Structure 1
Amino acid sequence: MKKHLLYLLIFPLFLCCSKDENKRNTNPFLPDYSFSIIIDPDLPLYAELKTAINPVLITSANVGVNGIFVIKISDTNFLAWEANCPNQYPSECSRMVKLNNTTAKCNCDGLEYSLLTGVGGGNYTLKPYRVEILGTTIRVYN
């Protein structure tokens, strides 16, 4: 009896778990392009990243789907998000614009998203990218 009770308690845990953590973050609107960029905040182009909560939009070729937002949270914590609206296929209007230091807006549908949490309107949140601090530079990649 105890054995059956144990199985009943553990079985739901297996239903909730996924072998691939990324499946929960899969967005049908955004392709998964592989990229890596090294950012040097000492360069004038990225100097805003020296100040916390001051996002930079990077639209270099082959960086994300439609560019990326990078934001410094603290000296040891940076976040990076896809700049394409998470609920839109890539198009002329789907690159988001920075409204203020914590919010980006999609020009296609007018939805706003937090650059601190990725949460906003629509079915999908902002697509996060990995960030690695390498001395005085920052690597953003997926």
Structure 2
Amino acid sequence: MKKIFLATLACVSILACSKSDNDTYNQYIPDQAFDTTSTINTSFPQFNSLKYPGNHVVVQEYGINGIVVYYSGSTYLAFELSDPNHHLQSCSKLTVEGVIASCNCDDGNTYDILTGQPNSGTSAQFGLKQYHTEVSGNIIRVYNN
């Protein structure tokens, strides 16, 4: 009886730690460690618009297909520019216009860069992959590690 109890307890413990319980797991977007360190500096002309609420900048050198950094007025948000609902392919690289990130694949998925969530009318299951941000003076650090 004791062996059955211990075996059951072990199975429950293993299942409780299963990766499938992780709501943020996305098979289409692999984890890629990066850190912008001091690259995004609002003193630089290409990032100056991030001093003002409602602006965004696309930075191609980081993430998988680049990242978009948006300033809401109170916080900086950063998202991956790969459609989280497709395997990586040329059409799944997102383009940003205003606050909308659009996929160029046939389904035409669109996402709000304020929330990272799919827009209404989009059949997407996953929202955009969000990255961590920290601000120190004029430096905006975006990282995933």
Q: TM-score range by the shorter chain?
A: 0.7 to 0.9
- Other-structure match for 1:27: 26
Q: Confirm or deny that 1:57 pairs with 2:67.
A: no
Of 128, 131, 135 in structure 2, the residue corresponding to residue 129 of structure 1 is 131
TM-score w.r.t. the length of structure 1 is: 0.78
1:106-131 CA-to-partner distances (Å, cap 9, x unmatched) read: 11131110001111030100000000
- Other-structure match for 1:12: none
Segments of structure 1 that go 5 or more residues without pairing to the other structure are 1-16
In 2, the alpha carbon distance for the partners of 1:118 and 1:85 equals 11
Structure 1 residues 112 and 41: CA distance shift in structure 2, 3 A: same
Q: Which amino acid aligns with 1:89?
A: H
Percent of aligned pairs with the same amino acid? 35
Aligned ranges for residues 14-93 of structure 1 at < 5 Å? Answer: 23-37=22-36, 38=38, 39-60=40-61, 63-74=62-73, 76-93=74-91
**Which aligned runs of 4 or more in structure 1 are off by greater than 3 angstroms?**
17-20
- Other-structure match for 1:118: 116
Segments of structure 2 that go 5 or more residues without pairing to the other structure are 1-15
* 1:19 Cα deviation after fit: 9.4
In 1, the alpha carbon distance for the partners of 2:60 and 2:72 equals 21
TM-score w.r.t. the length of structure 2 is: 0.76
- Other-structure match for 2:103: 106
